[in-house]
Amino acid sequence: MKQIFMLFLCLSAVILTSLISGCNNQQSEGDIWPLAVGNQWIYKTSEKINEKTVFDTVTVTKDTLINGEKWFYTNHSAHPISWILKNKSDGLHIIDREMSSPFIFLKYKAIQGDTYFNMIDTILVKQVDKVIKTEAGTFTCYQYNALKADRDQFLTDDGIYACPGVGVVRFQTTGMWSIKYELIKFNLKNK
């Protein structure tokens, strides 16, 4: 009887440990923002200026060939924003409707301290293992911070937090125009 109890106790500990480790850290290998038609991320957004909360669903709506490469269109439910995205060997590239040429948006696989220019700002890869908790789970993220033109420093709280294999988990800015996007749910299809 004592042996059965000990076996049950050991099995319970193993199962509990695997459940906890599987739920707490949803970082996986793969692209910094996985792209496949039907992939969807739901964000809770809050804006300081008008003190409102909005839910924004970002959906990969279709793919297309541009210069022989497969790119993906995204649509935002709460904003008239549409991006064209592609994961390349150096990270996520974007074509904004207002800009004609693609540029790197999120450098990946990067090392902590890397900097790069994304056609708008100089970006610092501040961390590659920042733990972020949201309603969607706990994620180990890359933290990207922009160098603001009016200051000669990288802001510490502003930034994009992206988890490989999941996508953008949080985006936030501080100050008068502070905005916070936080992932509350996501659904990824097979590539």
Q: In the prediction, which pLDDT does 154 show?
A: 52
What beta strand segments (E) does 20-177 contain? Answer: 40-47, 52-66, 69-76, 83-88, 91-96, 103-107, 115-117, 122-134, 137-147, 159-163, 167-172
Sign of CA dihedral 134, 139, 186, 72: positive
Q: What is the pLDDT averaged over residues 37-64?
A: 90
- CB-based contact 83:76 (threshold 8 Å): no
- Mean residue pLDDT of the chain comes to 80
Q: Give the residue with greater pLDDT, 46 vs 57.
A: 57
- Mean per-residue pLDDT for 173-177? 74
Cβ contacts of residue 187 below 8 Å, gap of 6+? 38, 39, 40
pLDDT of residue 81: 77
End-to-end CA distance of the chain: 50
* Separation CA 95–CA 116 (nearest Å): 17
pLDDT at 27 > cutoff 80: no
CATH topology of domain 27-187: YmcC-like fold (2.40.360)
Give mean pLDDT, residues 136-159. 77
Rounded to 5°, angle at Cα 115 from 45 and 71: 60
Residue 148's pLDDT is what? Answer: 65
Q: What is the pTM assigned to this prediction?
A: 0.79
Q: Per-residue confidence at 115, pLDDT binned at 50, 70, 90?
A: very high
- Lowest mean pLDDT across 135-144, 155-164, 180-189: 155-164
pLDDT-derived band at 26, boundaries 50, 70, 90: low
Average pLDDT over residues 99-127: 89
Other beta carbons within 10 angstroms of residue 41's beta carbon come to 25
Query: Whose CA is closest to 161, among 140, 179, 146?
Result: 140
Q: What is the pLDDT of residue 173?
A: 83
For residues 19 and 21, give the distance between their C-alpha atoms in angstroms, rounded to a whole number. Answer: 6
Per-domain boundaries in the chain: 27-187
Q: Which two tokens stand for residue 65?
A: 């060939």
Does residue 49 have a pLDDT over 50?
yes
Give the range among 11-15, 106-110, 131-135, 171-175 with minimum mean pLDDT: 11-15
d(CA 69, CA 89): 13
